[in-house]
Amino acid sequence: MATFTLLALGLAALLLSAAGPAAAQNCGCRPNECCSTDGYCGTSIAYCGRACQSGACAVLSGGIAVPVESVVTAAFFNGIKSHAVAGGGCAGKNFYTLRSFLVAARANPDFAKGRSKDDSKREIAAFFAQVTHETGHLCLIEETNGTSQDYCDERDTDWPCYAGWAYYGRGPLQLRWNSNYGPAGKSIGFDGLRNPEKVAQDPVVAFKAALWLWMNNVHPFVPQGFGATTRAVSGIAECDGGNSTAVNARASYYRDYCKKFGVDPGNFLTC
């Protein structure tokens, strides 16, 4: 009888241990949501970061990388440029180069590291879809009409604004605000607060700034679908009905680039 009881208890323990991970995979969240270790669903980094037990968990480090240069070829990069407007209104056409992007990408080893090679290719497609929209096919170096605003948040005493400098959008992903220029410059190696124009003068710095912004603000949300990257880039200005035309344009670029890379774009393409 004692032997039977011990066997029964052992079997029960085995079943419970086997059921644990399965139960964690089915905690009632929607496909693009994350289930936290407390059992709650959400899409922010609080749910999808290190406390994530299942669902669209962020890839915070590690993962499977693909050689970026094998995906972002000269044909692909120049193909984006080929759709830019002709004439003198396209300053970025001679500014942005494939080499400058690849140098910046090599300085960010966690970029394009997903759970699979296809996920990594999807991140590259997402990055360039957002860049394409933000710059008008790698045409703009500075945001249109941005020079009329200084984008200075005086409440940020850690990264104070300096007289004579404006922190409007520059680069492939439009780096804005002193609170971004300061830490981005520190990470990349230039004085972002006293020389923000460096982002519009050096193409390697421009792409490094864009990838700094991407890795800090967008990369964790890539597993949730392309729509989540649009929300991270544009927020309420476009999402939730703010500008559905822009949202759909970004998604169209993403689908096109995924097709070029031979991967399925997945679900949740709009925000």
Q: Looking at residue 162, what is its pLDDT?
A: 94
| 50 compared with 231, residue with greater pLDDT | 231
Q: 40 and 67 share a domain?
A: no
pLDDT, one tens digit per residue, over 174-222 is: 999 999 999 999 999 999 999 999 999 999 999 999 999 999 999 999 9
**52 pLDDT tier (thresholds 50, 70, 90):** confident
Is the confidence at residue 148, as pLDDT, over 90?
A: no
Q: Which residues are catalytic?
A: 134
- Final residue before a domain boundary, out of 17, 32, 55: 55
Q: 110 and 218 share a domain?
A: yes
Q: Of the given ranges (67-71, 88-92, 170-174), which has the lowest mean pLDDT?
A: 88-92
pLDDT, one tens digit per residue, over 79-107 is: 999 998 776 679 999 999 999 999 999 99
Is the confidence at residue 1, as pLDDT, over 60?
A: no
d(CA 188, CA 85): 31
d(CA 106, CA 92): 21
Q: 80 and 46 share a domain?
A: no
Residue ranges of alpha helices (H) inside 108-177 are: 117-135
pLDDT, one tens digit per residue, over 18-29 is: 333 333 345 888
Whether 218 and 129 have beta carbons less than 8 Å apart is answered as no
Q: 21 and 126 share a domain?
A: no
- Final residue before a domain boundary, out of 36, 55, 74: 55
Q: 49 and 80 share a domain?
A: no
- Final residue before a domain boundary, out of 13, 35, 55: 55
Range of 191's domain? 61-271
Q: 37 and 71 share a domain?
A: no
Average confidence score pLDDT of the chain: 86
Q: 67 and 146 share a domain?
A: yes
Q: Which of 261, 211, 225 is nearest to 111 (CA)?
A: 211
Q: 39 and 89 share a domain?
A: no
Q: Is 0.85 surpassed by the pTM of this model? A: no
Is the confidence at residue 13, as pLDDT, over 50?
A: no
Q: What are phi and psi of 27, to 5 degrees?
A: -100, 15
Mean pLDDT of 24-49: 73
Proportion of the chain above pLDDT 70, given as a percent: 84
How many folded domains does the chain comprise? 2
**238 pLDDT tier (thresholds 50, 70, 90):** very high
CATH number at residue 132: 1.10.530.10
**69 pLDDT tier (thresholds 50, 70, 90):** very high
Q: 120 and 32 share a domain?
A: no
Q: 121 and 248 share a domain?
A: yes
Q: 130 and 22 share a domain?
A: no
- Report CA Rg, the chain: 22
Q: 197 and 266 share a domain?
A: yes
| 190 compared with 57, residue with greater pLDDT | 190
